[in-house]
Homo-oligomer: A and B are copies of this chain.
């Protein structure tokens, strides 16, 4: 790419950056937790429409995706699961097509009293924007959009089709990205600006969610010895799951991308509920677990081992032996994905293009990183033969209190993205 064009694109990002920051603030103010994404998607659809993109907005139909690889089981209706895609259709189609993907759903804020300021009233201080979802990943949605704006400000458009995706369900299933694939949105590469500190993600873990339901034999607590406490009965099961976690993390089980990590796979008991009355031995409990798996590790085998571990531990308990736990899957059935294992020329070219864009913007080499989470990249990489580049701004406390994103980092990512688009897709007149 000409140095002159690089400079013009970066100048255009700078010129639009106040507007971009305002856009990020407004988007972050929409409390788009699962099932509540509609106002945020309205906002995204308007932003795409006024820019002239062909906007496609649709409710995810489970029947259309449930037999596809990568589908994750869901509980309850999908009435509020709506994706938005804005399409740029190139006039010349001389370059390589691109998906710019981001998710609009955010995780719950947690107890409000643990935030220094309200999670959905974003504020800017010392170069950071604070708010739930600001980092994970509304700054990425802003970056994708304003990178395209930078081209437009230079009188240019990508010389290939570009699909701007604002999806839901990334935080629990990935079925939003899967539904985009099922609807026919494919391209030569995908870029997902998840907040991994301007590193290129070369590998991500798989994730399985499961619920364990226990039932006890409730009695008046006066006779606690004859009851079975369904809350406390969970403790040895959780301990057994942690022992499994320890085994899975053993050095001999790690693929190369994770060889250096002692504990890449985290098991998280994320929710727990049980009991109805303080003086009744609790009759039931339910706990929700997230467990990670390595790229290449079979979900089917992992689930079988999880079930075996839970049932074996339950059989050690006098009561649970006769009332075995029920294991319910609802949420992630996500395989791991390693871009590092994609030996295609296309992947090499995409990584190379991003590396150049990053270096041109930052003056630093592009750091590669294997991450301990999942992202929607797996759908493109595993099920659509499309290299998926996860590369986004620096953020802190994602899923935590006082989540924040570094605005200068978002600026650099936006510039690098604009340069990457211009290189990967080529340009044509707007």
- Identify the closest chain B residue to A275 (Cβ): B271
* Contacting pair B290 A399 (CB below 8 A): no
Residues from chain B with a CB closer than 8 A to the CB of A267 are: 224
A225 and B245 CA atoms in complex are apart in Å by 13
Give the most central of A271, A278, A397: most B CB within 10 Å: A278
A270/B266 in contact, CB under 8 A? no
Q: Is the CB of A232 within 8 A of B273?
A: no
Instruction: Evaluate contact between A372 and B223: CB separation under 8 angstroms.
Output: yes
Asked if A221 is at the interface (CB within 8 A of a chain B CB), the reply is: yes
A107 at the interface (CB under 8 A from B): yes
* Smallest beta-carbon distance A403→chain B, Å: 10
Asked if A300 is an interface residue, CB under 8 A from chain B, the answer is: no
Given A218-B399, A220-B373, A235-B235, verify A270-B263 contact (CB < 8 Å).
no
Cα distance A281–B114 in the bound complex, in angstroms: 14
Q: Determine whether the beta carbon of B107 is less than 8 Å from that of A277.
A: yes
Q: How far is the CA of A272 from the CA of B217 in the complex (A)?
A: 16
Q: Are B231 and A269 in contact (CB under 8 A)?
A: yes
The answer to whether B266 and A225 touch across the interface, beta carbons within 8 angstroms, is yes
Residues of B near A366 (CB, < 8 A) are: none
Say yes or no: A373-B278 contact (C-beta < 8 A), given A110-B283, A232-B269, A283-B111. no
**What is the CB-to-nearest-CB distance from A115 to chain B, in angstroms, rounded to a whole number?**
10
- A308 contacts partner chain B, Cβ-Cβ < 8 Å: no
A219 on the B face (CB < 8 A) = yes
Bound state CA distance, A14 and B136, in angstroms? 73
Query: Across the two chains, which residue of chain B brings its CB closest to A196?
Result: B222
Contacts of A272 in B (CB 8 A): 231, 272-275, 282, 285
**What's the Cα separation between A169 and B267 when bound, in Å?**
42
Chain B CB within 8 A of A162 CB: no
Q: Does A276 contact B (CB under 8 A)?
A: yes
B residues in contact with A108, CB < 8 Å? 276-277, 280
Closest to A242 in B: B232
CB distance A372 to B222 under 8 Å? Answer: yes
Q: Please name all residues of chain B whose beta carbon is closer than 8 Å to the beta carbon of A279 when the two chains form the complex.
A: 107, 171-172, 207, 209, 268, 270, 290, 332, 399
